[in-house]
């Protein structure tokens, strides 16, 4: 009996973007009921491959472009978004780009709105459908809310619900949990399991090894636009994966103990608008990398934003290098020696400059122009040095930041602060949406900042990251500092969770 053809088969696919090969001679297939994990370093081609499969690769045709797409054995090489939807292909990109003015119900139903009397949109049915699909993801979001009012996590859940509501035959997911809170992933994974059981094929691109290990039936690894290898589920481990991704082994080294130096930051009875009645006090010392742990909603982001003056402090004070910062605003915080990289630094549209070159050199322009005149050669040298220092991109420095991957943008956001030599560095979820090699580069950058005398304070939902990177941990519960863990304490996931949940040590 002949074997059924793959649902989607990619044959010798080569595609160029801006004259450079984004995909190079890719051969890959996915069958019904498969969950194909897709991994690779930043810029390896994961997003480009998903865009081609979803009919969204909009670059100009290049003379060297070639290859075919087969759907159930039939040639669909000229796939576009409309024909992809007709075939049952749903793509959820890293940044869905749904208009802010849409309601949640309108966004979920976009392109397949329920009709009443054949031509009028049935808005009650649309709201019920949205609530149903969001409920399957465990998301309690008001269908009448505007997308522009939602958090990044909620917007991502809306985009996922929209894809699931189409009953796709092939679901393409690009870093679907990058914007989600840890507790939001359970509903997504359960929904994916239900789809797989019904025969839906899923391609799941992610930089999170644990997710790929838990979900994928097999894994394809890309490197520099080429298929570096395919791994069966039983072959998955960080060392093998690292060999395919970066040509070497990936193994996150354990943190070396350090002797902290002078006090860099003192926080006394600081109260935030998120938890106005709760006062927080702590200090950071020279050379420390300190992690902020806690459950979602525990107030870590609110505290970081308040420390940098982005949100108003309702009480208390802070001192940097034993000098009070008052009033506390982003300008005075930066002038005092603080740097800030937010959790959404990898999101498109957040860069403060039109080119990567300008972005990298913007905070450091003042010392480069003592007489108010910027020497372009000096700016070029600084941008090139920072780009190389964090291995941001091999592309041109005059490209728009939105052309970079989220991981590259996140590295650029940190690199831009380096010329200012900050003494206190605040990072919110610094490796969100970042691949394994880029994660290593960010960890190394944090270590270098500490070695140069800075104190680094970072919040992360990744317990393993916190335990491996931090010298000590501040654990938060409902806005309060529940406790501090050093490496002489119960410096484990269990120790973190006991404090975060309010249990006695």
Q: Which domains does the chain have, with CATH numbers?
A: 8-246 (3.40.50.300), 252-337+422-505 (3.40.50.300), 349-421 (no CATH)
Burial grade of 362 (CB within 10 A; 0-12, 13-18, 19 or more): middle
Angle at which helices 185-197 and 152-165 cross, to 10°: 10
CA dihedral 426, 310, 147, 48 (to 10 degrees): -40
Report the pLDDT value the prediction gives residue 9, as an integer from 0 to 100.
94
Going by DSSP bridges, is the β-strand pair 424-428/455-459 parallel, antiparallel, or unpaired? parallel
Place of tokens 């989607």: 8
Report the pLDDT value the prediction gives residue 367, as an integer from 0 to 100.
59
State if pTM tops 0.75: no
Angstrom CA distances, 267 to 65, 280, 282, 319, stand at: 57, 7, 5, 7
Task: State how far the Cα of 455 lies from the Cα of 260, in Å rounded to an integer.
Answer: 9
Neighbours of 59 (CB within 10 A): 15
Neighbours of 397 (CB within 10 A): 19
Phi, psi (rounded to 5 degrees) for 44: -75, -20
Answer for the pair 17, 59: CB distance below 8 angstroms, yes or no: yes
Q: What is the pLDDT along the chain (505 residues), one digit of tens a residue?
A: 457 889 999 999 888 877 778 888 999 999 999 999 998 876 788 988 999 999 887 544 667 788 899 999 999 988 888 899 999 999 998 877 888 889 999 999 888 887 877 678 888 888 999 999 999 998 889 999 999 888 888 899 999 999 999 999 999 999 888 777 777 888 899 999 999 999 999 999 987 777 888 899 999 998 888 898 898 888 877 667 767 776 655 555 555 666 778 999 999 999 999 999 999 999 999 999 999 998 777 899 999 999 999 999 999 999 999 999 999 999 999 999 999 999 877 666 666 788 888 888 876 666 555 555 566 777 888 888 888 888 788 888 898 888 887 778 888 888 888 888 899 999 998 887 676 777 777 888 898 899 889 999 999 988 888 988 999 999 999 899 999 998 888 888 888 888 887 765 5
What's the number of CA atoms in the CB half-sphere (13 Å) around residue 47? 20
Report the pLDDT value the prediction gives residue 411, as an integer from 0 to 100.
85
From edge to edge, which strands make up the β-sheet containing 218-223? 89-92, 170-174, 201-205, 35-40, 218-223, 226-232
Instruction: Please name the residues in contact with 132: beta carbons below 8 A apart, sequence gap of 6 or more.
Output: none
């Amino acid at each position: 009996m002949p074997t059924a053809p793959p649902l989607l088969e990619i044959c010798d696919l080569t595609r160029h973007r801006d004259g450079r090969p984004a995909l190079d001679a890719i051969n890959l297939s996915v069958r019904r009921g498969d969950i194909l994990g897709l991994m690779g370093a930043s810029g390896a081609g994961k997003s480009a491959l998903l865009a081609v499969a979803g009919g969204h690769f909009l670059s100009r045709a290049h003379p060297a472009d070639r290859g075919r797409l087969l759907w159930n054995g039939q040639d669909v090489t000229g796939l576009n978004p409309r024909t992809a939807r007709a075939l049952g292909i749903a793509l959820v990109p890293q940044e869905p780009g749904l208009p802010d003015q849409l309601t949640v119900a309108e966004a979920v139903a976009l392109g397949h709105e329920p009709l009443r009397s054949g031509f009028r949109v049935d808005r009650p049915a649309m709201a019920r459908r949205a609530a149903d699909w969001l409920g399957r993801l465990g998301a309690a979001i008001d269908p009448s809310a505007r997308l522009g009012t939602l958090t990044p996590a909620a917007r991502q859940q809306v985009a996922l619900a929209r894809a699931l509501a189409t009953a796709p035959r092939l679901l393409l997911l690009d870093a679907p949990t990058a914007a989600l809170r840890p507790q939001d992933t359970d509903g997504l994974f359960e929904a994916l399991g239900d789809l797989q059981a019904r025969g839906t094929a899923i391609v799941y691109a992610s930089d999170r090894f644990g997710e790929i290990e838990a979900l994928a039936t097999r894994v394809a690894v890309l490197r520099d636009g080429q298929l570096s290898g395919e791994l069966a589920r039983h072959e998955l481990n960080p060392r093998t994966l690292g060999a395919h991704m970066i040509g070497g082994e990936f193994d996150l080294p354990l943190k070396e103990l350090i002797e902290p130096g002078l006090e860099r930051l003192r926080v006394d009875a600081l109260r935030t608008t998120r938890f106005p009645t709760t006062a927080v006090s702590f200090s950071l010392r020279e050379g420390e990398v300190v992690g902020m742990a806690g459950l979602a909603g525990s107030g870590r982001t609110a505290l970081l934003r308040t420390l940098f003056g982005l949100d108003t402090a309702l009480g208390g004070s802070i001192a940097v290098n034993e000098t009070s910062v008052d009033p506390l605003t982003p300008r005075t915080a930066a002038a005092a020696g603080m740097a800030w990289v937010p959790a959404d630094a990898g999101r498109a549209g957040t860069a403060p400059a039109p080119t990567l070159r300008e972005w990298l050199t913007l905070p450091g322009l003042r010392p480069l122009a003592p007489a108010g005149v910027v020497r372009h050669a000096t700016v070029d040298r600084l941008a090139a040095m920072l780009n190389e220092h964090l291995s941001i991109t091999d592309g041109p420095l005059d490209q728009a930041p939105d052309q970079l991957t989220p991981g590259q943008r996140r590295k650029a956001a940190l690199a831009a602060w380096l010329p200012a030599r900050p003494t206190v560095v605040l990072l919110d979820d610094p490796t969100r949406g970042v691949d394994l090699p880029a994660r290593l580069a960010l960890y190394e950058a944090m270590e270098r900042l500490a070695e140069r005398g800075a104190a680094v304070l970072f919040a992360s939902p990744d317990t393993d990251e916190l335990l491996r990177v931090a010298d000590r941990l501040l654990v938060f519960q409902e806005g309060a500092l529940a406790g501090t863990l050093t490496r002489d304490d119960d410096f484990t996931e269990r120790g973190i969770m006991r404090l975060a949940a309010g249990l006695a040590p």
